[in-house]
Structure 1
Amino acid sequence: MIKTQGYHWNVVGPLFVPIHEMTERLYRDLFEAIDALAERIRALGQIAPLSVTDMISQAHLTEEETIRDAHGMIEQLIHDNESLARRLRETAALASRHGDGATEDLMNARMAKHEEAVWMLKAIATS
């Protein structure tokens, strides 16, 4: 979410409008998703992350450390969303094996959102 919001703030060039608008939709969706995922973690009796440091320590994506051009931002977001979709698919399968339909449903819904984001980002990338 933070990387997507950073791209939203810092994109420049001819793709400014589509990337600026899309990243705003994406980071707002991700904010809501984070809340839903944390609530599911709590419903399963676990502790949700308590700090940004805690979230980063559990993250599988890297933080952004450089300013990218618009195409670089799109490429990175495609990569990150594809990675998230794969992990969500794996987690949904694990939840299914354990008979946890609620988590499986949540993972599948998030996976669909990330796959849709990949499709839209790839559409912008061809501009």
Structure 2
Amino acid sequence: MEIDIGINKDDRAAIANGLSRLLADSYTLYLTTHNFHWNVTGPMFNTLHLMFEAQYNELALAVDLIAERIRALGFPAPGTYKEFQKLTSMSEPEGVPSATDMIKLLVQGQEAVVRTARSVAPLADKVSDEPTLDLLTQRMQVHEKNAWMLRSLLES
């Protein structure tokens, strides 16, 4: 059955493509954060272990919301590492970084997700796609706050 939500197919496709990039960035950040949760060591272990856990749990819920929005727009959501690797703007770290480097990498990851979300917003705004705009706004708020909190740990 054809989708008739007041947004034409080409515009829905452009938005879904942007959301697919957001999904890939979010999943890559999820995986990196979970990795760091498992492997962090040092004097800030407990603080970072718990912070990383809260962040990856939030991301696990977020990727579902993003994928479901892509589906609501009428397109398949990417769901494999291979697809995510092609779509993401992020790279995965090699080895096990120090706790300080983990924080820096996660700041960069949080900010990458914000940039990707921000790049999709004009597409959604152009066609008054308020549900996507709402999702993007919420994602940017979460990731900007997370980046700020992580950056705060780096200050002396």
Does the residue aligned with 1:125 lie in a helix, a strand or coil? coil
* CA deviation vs aligned residue, 1:37-95 (integer Å, no higher than 9, x gap): 00000000010113222222211111122210000000000111111112211212221
Stretch of structure 1 that moved more, 109-118 or 78-87: 78-87
User: What stretches of structure 1 of length at least 5 have no aligned partner?
Assistant: none
Task: State which of 77, 82, 96 in structure 2 corresponds to 1:67.
Answer: 96
Give me the identity figure in percent: 39
Structure 1 pair 79–50 and aligned structure 2 pair: CA distance change class (3 A)? closer
- The equivalent position to 1:37 in structure 2, one of 66, 75, 82, is 66
Alignment RMSD = 1.2
TM-score scaled by length of structure 1: 0.94
- Indicate the structure (1 or 2) with the bigger Cα radius of gyration: 2
Runs of 4+ in 1 over 4 A off after TM superposition: none
Gapped regions of structure 2 (runs ≥ 5): 1-29
With the length of structure 2 as denominator, give the TM-score of the two structures: 0.77
Between the two proteins, the alignment pairs up a number of residues equal to 127
**The 10-residue stretch of structure 1 (69-78 or 95-104) with the greater mean CA deviation from structure 2:** 95-104
Q: Is the 8 A contact 1:92 1:105 kept in 2?
A: no
Distance 1:18 1:34, change over 3 A: same
Q: Which amino acid aligns with 1:24?
A: E
Work out whether 1:26 is the aligned partner of 2:55.
Answer: yes
> What is the aligned counterpart of 1:80 among 109, 112, 116?
109
Letter in 1 for 2:41: V
State the structure with bigger RCO (CA 8 A, min sep 6), 1 or 2: 2
